[in-house]
Amino acid sequence: AQSVTQLDSQVPVFEEAPVELRCNYSSSVSVYLFWYVQYPNQGLQLLLKYLSGSTLVKGINGFEAEFNKSQTSFHLRKPSVHISDTAEYFCAVSETTDSWGKLQFGAGTQVVVTP
């Protein structure tokens, strides 16, 4: 079984400042890794994914994440945030051996961007 830990439940950040959201996972098998974003009163939208290959992955809206296998981490970063980045962000994993692609989510990190 796998688990996902998001180390910060809330991250306040000023507009145009950088932000990093931390995610650690544990699994006995190899995993695919994802970050989803949930804007207020909406469903989840895929921000980026790591399946294989380069450990630095780029997603939509200027976000990127780096997969670190030795530290079992997949931290999300953005160099300069906008007010519109205010949302909840979820890290998720799926075991590569799971034919049905079931997702295990972290608890979420609420990002609040202020002017």
Partner 1 sequence: NAGVTQTPKFQVLKTGQSMTLQCAQDMNHNSMYWYRQDPGMGLRLIYYSASEGTTDKGEVPNGYNVSRLNKREFSLRLESAAPSQTSVYFCASSENRGELLAIFYEQYFGPGTRLTVT
48 near partner 1 (CB under 8 A) = no
Judged by CB under 8 A, which of 7, 49, 61, 72 binds partner 1? 49
- How long a stretch of residues is the chain? 115
Stretch that binds partner 1, among 14-22, 54-62, 67-75, 96-104 (CB under 8 A): 96-104
Min dist CB 58 to partner 1, Å, is 16
89 near partner 1 (CB under 8 A) = no
Judged by CB under 8 A, which of 2, 24, 72, 96 binds partner 1? 96
